[in-house]
């Protein structure tokens, strides 16, 4: 599906949908817990529906109401699923669910869409093999689809976590090895994206489970834990909010984003600080964030300023910040985020290519992007050339191209626009509602 964005400003308030990372962790913990859990204000999107399907395949009973999900958990470990688990486009579901499948006495098959089939999983499966699992790749070594046969029984492994999702998977599953198993010990010589591990640790802490570690390098996890049912609200998703925050920054608009909690464990809340450093006026309330971009009467700055930003902890913010950077008056360097190449697409390469189509002076580095200022950096002057770009079937590329369209000299058309629904189903209708009339 193609979507065409007409340039213009935004104004008003919008509720940001629930966090994908929290919703998926909630679903998986509730699936294994004893009793009935209630997940309030969850994210309903293609990725979380993939997780719901995986949880049902493990045997959980799940009912979906408009504002909550009820999960009747297994109160223990699942039986091997009769059918392959298809995670669709959801990397988080794939990586986190595979740890759970390793606990199962039997075989689970995993598959996913063509982007999932290109996302590396060998380090995680090697570690699960160190703990006693058997792995069989069905097409390409190191990539889905594959079969995994458990159960794992603790032990020692070392794992390079180019993605934090490998470690989150081990942390969610290893406490559930049967009482009397060996403790699990993990050495982690490399770890990107620590905040996502903190999200996992926050959920485990709520369950009374506290893996021991020395500054994230070496971990000891005791066996024999159980999950219990819970009733919890899900905070708004800062990765989704990033698109609206950047749109306000790029167009000199003022927005109020509701449902966001700056005390939550999501790392992507750091985007708020980056945009403030670039000159936006930000106001933080208990469950809302206000932002006004340079050029708006409520923002003292007249231009977005440049700088160097380390995105290692917040790789999902790279596409939107790259578009935003094109509106700054000085060069912007987005650095130390090589793992952005391992997502739904190689987001460094794809953003460089598509922003070049829109006339942006941008170059790729192995670990990030350098974006140089537009010829006329004045607020209100167009920063992108009108044209047609590709979304590459990647939700975050699609949404980044759409916000670029707001600051272009004419319409911008992006294809594969339906994939915004992977994490932000109402993205295009929300943009339309927020148009300054």
Ligand X SMILES: O=C(O)C1=C[C@@H](OP(=O)(O)O)[C@@H](O)[C@H](O)C1
Ligand Y SMILES: C=C(OP(=O)(O)O)C(=O)O
40 three-state secondary structure: strand
Nearest CA-CA partner of 247 in 435, 31, 59, 74 = 435
Which residue in the list 86, 264, 316, 394 is annotated as catalytic? Answer: 316
Region from 75-83, 160-168, 212-220, 397-405 binding ligand X, contact rule CB under 6 A: 160-168
The residue from 22, 256, 341, 343 that contacts ligand Y (CB under 6 A) is 343
- Is 110 in contact with 84 (CB distance < 8 Å)? yes
List 232's β-bridge partners, or say none.
39
Q: For ligand X, give the closer residue by CB, 266 or 386.
A: 266
Q: For ligand X, give the closer residue by CB, 251 or 423.
A: 423
What is the Cα–Cα distance from 54 to 70, expressed in whole angstroms? 15
Residue 316 annotated as catalytic: yes
Q: Is 21 annotated as a binding residue?
A: yes
Interface with ligand Y, residue 92, by CB under 6 A: yes
- Is 289 in contact with 281 (CB distance < 8 Å)? no
The token duo for 84 is 């392959």
Q: Which does 266 bind (CB under 5 to 8 A by kind): ligand Y, ligand X, none?
A: none
Query: Tokens 């943009």 — which residue?
Result: 431
Q: Which does 211 bind (CB under 5 to 8 A by kind): ligand X, ligand Y, none?
A: none
Q: Is 339 annotated as a binding residue?
A: yes
The residue from 48, 165, 177, 181 that contacts ligand X (CB under 6 A) is 165
428: phi then psi, degrees, rounded to nearest 5? -70, -35
Interface with ligand X, residue 253, by CB under 6 A: no
What is the Cα–Cα distance from 161 to 329, expressed in whole angstroms? 36
**Footprint on residues 13-52 left by ligand Y (CB under 6 A):** 47
The token duo for 251 is 């167009």
Q: Which residue is nearest to ligand X (CB)?
A: 163
Interface with ligand Y, residue 91, by CB under 6 A: yes
What is the Cα–Cα distance from 177 to 151, expressed in whole angstroms? 8
Whether the upstream peptide bond of residue 333 has omega within 30° of 0, thus cis, is: no
Q: Which does 256 bind (CB under 5 to 8 A by kind): ligand X, ligand Y, none?
A: none
Q: Is 91 annotated as a binding residue?
A: yes
Nearest-Å Rg of the Cα atoms of the chain is 22
Query: Tokens 């941008």 — which residue?
Result: 362
Closest distance of CB 225 from ligand Y, Å: 25
Q: For ligand Y, give the closer residue by CB, 304 or 399.
A: 399
The token duo for 92 is 């988080």
Interface with ligand X, residue 163, by CB under 6 A: yes
What is the Cα–Cα distance from 96 to 169, expressed in whole angstroms? 4
Q: Is 20 annotated as a binding residue?
A: yes
Q: Is 134 annotated as a binding residue?
A: no
**∠ CA 312-315-320 to the nearest 5 degrees?**
130
The token duo for 160 is 């390079």
Q: Sort 213 into a burial class: Cβ within 10 Å, 0-12 / 13-18 / 19+.
A: middle
Q: Which residue is nearest to ligand Y (CB)?
A: 91
Q: Which does 227 bind (CB under 5 to 8 A by kind): ligand Y, ligand X, none?
A: none
Interface with ligand Y, residue 90, by CB under 6 A: yes
**Footprint on residues 395-434 left by ligand Y (CB under 6 A):** 396, 423
Torsion over CA: 419, 424, 430, 436 (sign) = negative
Region from 102-110, 157-165, 230-238, 291-299 binding ligand X, contact rule CB under 6 A: 157-165
Closest distance of CB 322 from ligand X, Å: 15
Q: Is 122 annotated as a binding residue?
A: no
Annotated binding-site members:
20-21, 25, 91, 119, 163-165, 316, 339, 343, 347, 396
Q: Please identify every residue annotated as catalytic.
A: 316
The binding site for ligand Y (CB under 6 A) comprises 47, 90-92, 316, 343-344, 396, 423
Q: Binding-site residues for phosphoenolpyruvate, please?
A: 20, 91, 119, 165, 347, 396
């Amino acid at each position: 599906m193609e979507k065409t964005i007409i340039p213009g400003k935004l104004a008003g308030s919008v509720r940001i949908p629930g966090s994908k990372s929290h919703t998926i962790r909630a679903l998986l913990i509730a699936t294994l817990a004893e009793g009935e859990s209630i997940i309030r204000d969850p994210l309903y999107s293609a990725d979380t529906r993939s997780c719901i399907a995986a949880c049902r395949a493990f045997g959980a009973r799940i009912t979906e109401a408009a504002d909550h999900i009820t999960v009747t958990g297994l109160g223990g470990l699942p039986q091997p699923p009769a059918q392959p688990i298809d995670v669709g486009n959801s990397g988080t579901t794939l990586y986190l669910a595979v740890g759970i499948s390793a606990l199962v006495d039997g075989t689970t098959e995993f598959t996913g869409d063509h982007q999932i089939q290109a996302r590396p999983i060998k380090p995680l499966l090697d570690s699960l093999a160190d703990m006693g699992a058997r792995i069989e790749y069905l097409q390409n070594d190191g990539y889905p689809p594959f079969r995994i046969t458990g159960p794992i029984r603790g032990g020692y492994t070392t794992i390079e976590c180019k993605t934090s999702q490998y470690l989150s998977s081990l942390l969610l599953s290893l406490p559930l090895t049967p009482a009397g198993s060996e403790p699990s010990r993990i050495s982690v010589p490399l770890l990107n994206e620590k905040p996502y591990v903190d999200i996992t640790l926050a959920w485990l802490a709520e369950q009374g489970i506290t893996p021991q570690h020395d500054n994230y390098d070496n971990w000891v996890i005791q066996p024999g834990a159980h999950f219990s049912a819970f009733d919890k609200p899900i905070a708004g998703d800062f990765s989704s909010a990033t698109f609206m925050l950047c749109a306000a920054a790029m167009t000199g608009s003022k927005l109020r984003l509701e449902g966001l909690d700056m005390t939550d464990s999501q790392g992507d809340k750091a985007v708020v600080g980056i945009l403030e450093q670039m000159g936006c006026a930000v106001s933080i309330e208990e469950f809302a964030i206000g932002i006004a971009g340079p050029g708006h009467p409520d923002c003292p700055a007249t231009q977005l300023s440049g700088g160097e930003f380390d995105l290692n902890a917040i790789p999902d913010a790279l596409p939107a910040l790259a578009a935003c950077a094109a509106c700054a008056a000085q060069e912007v360097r987005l650095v130390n985020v090589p793992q952005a190449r391992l997502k739904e697409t190689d987001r460094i390469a794809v953003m460089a290519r598509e922003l070049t189509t829109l006339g942006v002076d941008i170059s790729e580095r192995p670990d990030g992007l350098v974006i140089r200022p537009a010829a006329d950096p004045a607020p209100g002057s167009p920063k992108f050339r009108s044209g047609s770009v590709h979304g590459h079937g990647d939700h975050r590329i699609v949404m980044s191209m759409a916000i670029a369209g707001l600051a272009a000299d004419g319409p911008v058309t992006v294809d594969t626009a339906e994939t915004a629904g992977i994490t932000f189903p109402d993205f295009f209708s929300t943009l339309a509602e927020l148009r300054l009339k």
